[in-house]
Chains A and B, each alone.
Chain A
Amino acid sequence: MTLGQIDRADEVAGIVFVDRKQSALTDFLASHNISAQQINLDYQARLARQQADQAAAAAAAANEENNANGSDDDEDVAEQKKRKRKEEKAIAKIKASKEFKRRKFEHHRAKDSDDDEETDDDALARDMMKKPQKAPPKPGQFANCETCEKRFTVTPYTLAGVDGGFLCTKCGKELKDEKSKAEKAAAKSKKKALVPRVRKRQQESDRMEGNVKLGAKSLVEHCVRKVADVVNDIEDFGDLPQNLLDRLSQILSKKRVLTPRTLQLFLQPGIDRIAVYDCAKLETEDFNKIFAFMPDVERVNFRFAGQLKDEPFRYMIEKNPKLRHLQLDASNLITDAAWTDLFLHRGDQLETLKLSALNDSFRDEIVEIMASTCPNLKRLKLRKCSHMTEQSINFIASMTSLEHLSLAIAQESSAESLVNLIDSVGSNLKTLCLEDYCDADDSVLEAIKNNCTQLTKLRLTGSPSFTDNMLANLFDAAWPNPCIRHIDLSSNRDMDSAMGPNDEDDENPVGFGSNAMKAMMVHSGNKLEQLDLHSNRHVGKEVLLDVFDGVKQYPNLKDIDLSFVTHVDDVVMTGIFKSCPALEKLAVFACFSAREAVIPQGIAVIGLPNAQSAVETVGGA
């Protein structure tokens, strides 16, 4: 039972706690469905029944008090009278006090009636007086224990019993033990209540990574994580298979513990590849060591290689004759001269070259050298290399061996350059990625349609001038290209019109819209695995409903991003779940009308405002 539930239960009973500060014990009792309020009410009822004997009871109480105080045993009548007067005074005082009013208010709320007001008042006041007004015996005096009635000496450490009397050392200790036990239990139950929330947090975190699979993680995953945890105690990985080494490198990089010490574990002569996803802690000698230890290396993948200088780079060119695949990120200390060396010496054997975030070197001239010295290059990926200009694109156009081409450089290039590029290399391409070329227009689409026939991955993003009809035309039945597995056509929308497709009567609206959506799914829906359409806000609701109608099936579609496609709503989402049996991840950021759809287990939906709904459930009251 949560606090919220208790609150609700109390509201139903018409009771409101005025003082919200509760002790742990009260909490504990409440959690066991014991209400102090109820006990108090019962007590009041009993008191009313005993009203007839009240005077006698009061006298008895006075006597008892007398005894407890342990003062003079033989009081005379005058003194008793005096005491009675005192009591009356005290009661009057109590009746005037705030505390009394509060209790009275509560009492009436509880009883919900006004009868017997006077007697109730008296009883209440007397009740209140009994407890706190009792003068405590000073330390050093004797008192009778409230529980066992033994006589004992009062000390500063003496505890008060439940009825306000004092407890002897033994009973006091018992009470204390009991209290601490109850507190512990309360704390424990609180802790237990916390656990699911912590879990929930972890769950949300996993969900963001698209990991909502039911059941336990694989034993391999368990072990890899554990190995990464204790990596500093490990002397040698032994002969772990390559895929596990790679996974370990990923985890260690993510944890930023890929130091020269841990790097050593990955260096094995027999292995043909090395991937370090965070080289920030490696220096010249570490790079040298890598190339010295692994003379047969074929694949080199260094990310954040900011400290990779010319010297180890030339060492690599010299010592690793089998190098065929090279991927470097942020290796800004390599000069153009060293790049030239690479292409002159190893250019003819390079099959893969992926470079990103080069801001200090690799100018157009180097691209020209690359284009002329790498006849076997199959994969080329260039991203965020700030010195490359439109000229580079023209040089790349001469590399007809390319099968996979991803470019995010020289993004101000004209559409003609891109068309020229696609015209010359397009026919062999299996992958074509052109990111954020703001001048790319329909002529580029036309070039793709005319040249590319083997694409399995297509990424065309960030163009403000592709038209819906031309995109639809690209995917029509006349295109000989088979089904595409990975499509990313995100952020292709008209920058100027914020609201929906331009005009109803506009013949050819700009941006990826309803026609393109329909044509694309007809063309590639069968084999499509990954679909990114984020920020294509002109995709209409009818077409979404039509494409994801729950009857048409997209058996391989695993990953969809429809963020900022504002027409996605609960119905569309439900349709997606029905139409995509293999779906693993769906991103719907900023799809504000989709929030109620029932998400089947095993699908990670991210971007829904469930942080809010989670707050609502937890808050309760």
Chain B
Amino acid sequence: MADTNKELSPFVTLVSADGFEFHVRRSAACVSGTIRRMLDVQNNFSEAQSGVCHLENLSGIVLEKVVEYFYYNEKHHQSSSVADMDIPADLCLELLMAADYLDT
């Protein structure tokens, strides 16, 4: 899933609209199809060179939850019958939009 090219840093930075930065393991961030395509060197986006993704339509609080999901997903990558992640009710709609955008 994640490309393990040696020149690539194992971490990428995700920046929310309100300026919060999250340093996330590349393999975890690539759970998202959108981010994976952003970071794919073959597509030659500026994100691929800098390793920084500006997600202008996500607020910090949503992005934090998204990042939590990235690691949750990676952790349970190979296990069967995974317990559901807890999602706060007031965040679920925004998170749903984010998830749809991120193709997660």
Tell me, yes or no, whether A binds B.
yes
CA distance A232 to B95 in the complex (A): 18
Are B89 and A215 neighbours in the complex by a CB distance under 8 Å? no
Residues of A within 8 A of B69 (CB): 219, 222
Are B80 and A212 neighbours in the complex by a CB distance under 8 Å? yes
Are A241 and B100 neighbours in the complex by a CB distance under 8 Å? yes
CA distance A233 to B73 in the complex (A): 28
CB distance from A197 to the nearest CB of B (A): 12
Residues of A within 8 A of B93 (CB): 223, 227, 234, 237-238
Residues of B within 8 A of A478 (CB): none
Give the dominant DSSP class at A's interface: helix
**Binary B-proximity of A211-243 (CB < 8 A = 1, otherwise 0):** 010111111101111110110011001101100
Closest residue on chain A to residue B93 by CB atoms: A227
Are A215 and B76 neighbours in the complex by a CB distance under 8 Å? yes
Are B100 and A220 neighbours in the complex by a CB distance under 8 Å? yes
CA distance A238 to B95 in the complex (A): 12
B96 located at the interface, meaning its Cβ lies under 8 Å from any Cβ of chain A in the complex: yes
A9 located at the interface, meaning its Cβ lies under 8 Å from any Cβ of chain B in the complex: no
Within A222-269, the residues touching B (CB, 8 Å) are 222-227, 229-230, 233-234, 237-238, 240-241, 244
CA distance A28 to B87 in the complex (A): 37
CA distance A238 to B73 in the complex (A): 27
Residues of A within 8 A of B82 (CB): 215-217
Say which residue of B72, B77, B95, B102 sits within 8 Å of A214 (CB atoms): B77
Residue of A219, A224, A238 most packed against chain B (CB within 10 A): A219
CA distance A225 to B87 in the complex (A): 10
B81 located at the interface, meaning its Cβ lies under 8 Å from any Cβ of chain A in the complex: yes
B43 located at the interface, meaning its Cβ lies under 8 Å from any Cβ of chain A in the complex: no
CA distance A461 to B4 in the complex (A): 51
CA distance A109 to B76 in the complex (A): 50
B27 located at the interface, meaning its Cβ lies under 8 Å from any Cβ of chain A in the complex: no
B92 located at the interface, meaning its Cβ lies under 8 Å from any Cβ of chain A in the complex: yes
CB distance from A300 to the nearest CB of B (A): 24
> Which of A17-25, A184-192, A199-207, A612-620 lies at the binding interface?
A199-207
Residues of A within 8 A of B79 (CB): 214-215
Within B63-94, the residues touching A (CB, 8 Å) are 66, 69, 72-73, 76-82, 84-85, 87, 89, 92-93
CB distance from A613 to the nearest CB of B (A): 17
Say which residue of A212, A214, A225, A244 sits within 8 Å of B78 (CB atoms): A214
Are A226 and B72 neighbours in the complex by a CB distance under 8 Å? no
CB distance from A202 to the nearest CB of B (A): 6
Residue of B77, B81, B97, B100 most packed against chain A (CB within 10 A): B81
CB distance from B13 to the nearest CB of A (A): 20
Say which residue of A222, A244, A601 sits within 8 Å of B80 (CB atoms): A601
Given pairs A215-B73, A217-B84, A240-B96, 8 additional interface contacts (CB within 8 A): A199-B81, A203-B80, A216-B73, A219-B104, A224-B96, A227-B92, A227-B96, A230-B92
B-to-A contact residues, CB < 8 Å: 66, 69, 72-73, 76-82, 84-85, 87, 89, 92-93, 95-97, 99-100, 102, 104
